[in-house]
Structure 1
Amino acid sequence: MTAIRDTTDQKNLALLIQLRWLAVIGQVITILFVDLVLGIPLPLFEMAVVIGFLVALNVVGLVRLRSQGLVGNTELFLELMLDVAALTVQLYLSGGASNPFIYLYLLQVIIGGVLLEAWSTWTLLAATSACFVGLATFNRPLPIPPQNSADLADLHVQGTFICFVLAAILLVFFVTRINRNLRARDAHLASLRQQSAEEDHIVRMGLLASGAAHELGTPLATLSVILSDWQRMEMFSQDEEIAAELAEMRGQLDRCKTIVTGILMSSGEVRGEGTRRTSVINFFDELVEEWRASRSPARLDYNNTFGTDVSIVSDDALKQVVFNLFDNALEASPNWVGIALERRGDRLTLSVTDAGPGFGKDILDQLGKPYNSSKNRPGSGLGLFLVVNVARKLGGTVTAKNLLNGGALVELTLPMATLSPEGVTDASLPG
């Protein structure tokens, strides 16, 4: 939450800098108009010094933004106080409280009320009020030419109108941008809350899967012992058909035990065996071959154009994520699955294509949400949910779209930096 607040304050500081540029331009135009058009002499040198101060303040602010440092309430308060000081000097040089532009103090107070904490806003209000009172007594009167003396009231009304228009324009600009910043912050907060809820859901699923794997371990071991005894029995071993069925049962049982072991690994039970050093090409080549052998798709087209191999640290959770993509494609398109691996800059992209009916619009709009599936069975819709969240944890993305000629394409993109031996840490790996 603090990081979000800091980011918002940085945007607000950038907005103050933009407003100050507008104020500098407005002051230059107003000063030249009054001095050259109305013929009212002004202390141009002193006023130019104040404008130069505002420009220098903006340059410092821009450097400050580029440093990516944290911006807090105190810094924004000091920025506004310096703006008040510069306005006060300009008003002192041009008639003090009689200058219609004195109402620009209200603009500073409104900006402070939106950006600052309560104590800072009240302090700013007290400072501007004190400056108003002080300018009523201490100021440099404007030398009004005799020809303009009769029209002094009209000049004041005109100046007040110009001040009103200027303040209104700046307020609309300011409030519009502030609302945009606040909406962006609220949207980011909502996204973080959603991400936190999804990660909590994954944790609970992981605990459930780990508990189920532990519970399944004992009956699977018992079945393994019984099958071993049956295979040694003469009455079964001499019957070729029964012996073949027992061998098939033993193979399926071993596969179940492998799946249970994989669940325990991905949940952190056997972390030392869950990760290993390999390379991108080796990892995906072996993974595709293992999936082909276990699923036996009717046709599988695998195209690896990654190029120069790169060392990575593989994780069983990443393997299960990729298997989920393959399984979803095979279920939608039993006769053909296309897999392509390529490198795009510093990221690897795994594309999985099928010839199935494609995704529904509601599924594409809510891609990666739990239980978002067209399959009408309990627990469906968790595959892509896990894929999206694991990819996000690794700094990657998952996109899906329907193809014009039928079928669907799902792309998993991962930064190689998070998979490299130097970039992978216990915190960065899923599970």
Structure 2
Amino acid sequence: MDQIANGRFAVRPSAFTTDVSESQRMRLATLTRLRWISVGGQTAACVFVAWGLWWPYPVFWCLGLIALSAALNIVLEFSHPKSRRLSARAAAAILAFDIVQPALLLLLTGGLDNPFCVFLIVPVIIASASQPLLTTIGLGILAVIAVTILAFWHMPLPWPEAVGFVLPPSYIGGFWFALVTTLVFAAIYIHRVAAEGRTLADALAATELVLQREQHITALDGLAAAAAHELGSPLATISVVAKEMARSTAQTDPQRDDIDLLVQQTERCRDILGRLTSLSSSSEEHMARLPILSLLEEVVQPHRNFGIELVVNAHPGFASEPVVRRNAGILYGLGNIVENGVDFAASRVQIDVQWNASGIKVAVADDGPGFAHDALDRIGDPYMSYRSRRDRNGGGGLGLGLFIAKTLLERSGAGLSFANRSDPETGAVVTIAWTQDIFAQQDSRQMVATD
């Protein structure tokens, strides 16, 4: 997240970068621990086959390769702190070694005849979950090359019979194809799932920052009241002392002008603190709870000067106009949806609000191009564009604002639906609905930023 300013924010989505962020880099300790597990398993297998089953194969060459892997682990652990997070290049080098070393072991112990050849795809899967796409592709190509070489060139599989164990070429070909397709499918699937998880985490973090910012803004009046209260006592003391100095100083005294100025400025400070106190109490009294139409007018007002007609229509039911708490999440969420409508509308955005004894429904409709039909089911996912945008700020958008709005409104208990207007009308309709019970719970739990 680069910045949040003026209500709009810039996000650096990890799914679109060529390197991983600091928080997403793999820890060196994670890879070294995995390699120690691999060293232990390789050693146990070699010792069991050589001196448990007494099957002939170049055991000392294999143990030498295992010792090389252990030596690399020791060097890494002593030369770098365990908490170090690896760059994409360093992680790629270590994972490439984890492909080459077992490939050489398999070269000495049967190639694709050896069932342990499936472990060649493990480093690629690890990379697909945490590394950039180019790193995953490079390691995948290296693993495919290793598997292909092992299909044609390798020493015999350790076996008790002199003839040895040899699989038919057709079976080896099928096994090679199965390994490669499993590698490709697993790498693509895991990379997509991990990228979506990182994207969602970034978007949720942006949501939290936006909500926190809105809460801080609405809490400024409370801070002003606290400051006025704390400064009131020392300012009163200064004022008393200044007035006493004025009484005891003659009009002809050279310091009289300075003393009069001090009295005037202390009175000015008291007036300023008095206004801050009254502003805070007024905000608490009149703005903490608003009729729904007043809340919508507060949401709509910043978007009226962009050449788009904004119309708010009320459709009251049998109940009186509901009064709701001034929730920062609701204000931001509704504001973002109205802003999107203004950005995409050709000339008009209509906001219809209905209420009755069961709840409140707000529908925001524009006369723009509407949502793409293939995107309707995915609306609310971060970092995807939904419509061809006529943005007053000059950008196409990545869908993050709508994701944040949807998240904040759903946290307030709202249900959202997205649709296109029925023919012959064009444009999109976003409907937000709350039940009266939800607002009652908000009142009882003080779910507002000023509380």
The two structures have a TM-score, normalised by structure 2, of 0.38
Structure whose residues are more often helix by fraction: 1
TM-score relative to the length of structure 1: 0.39
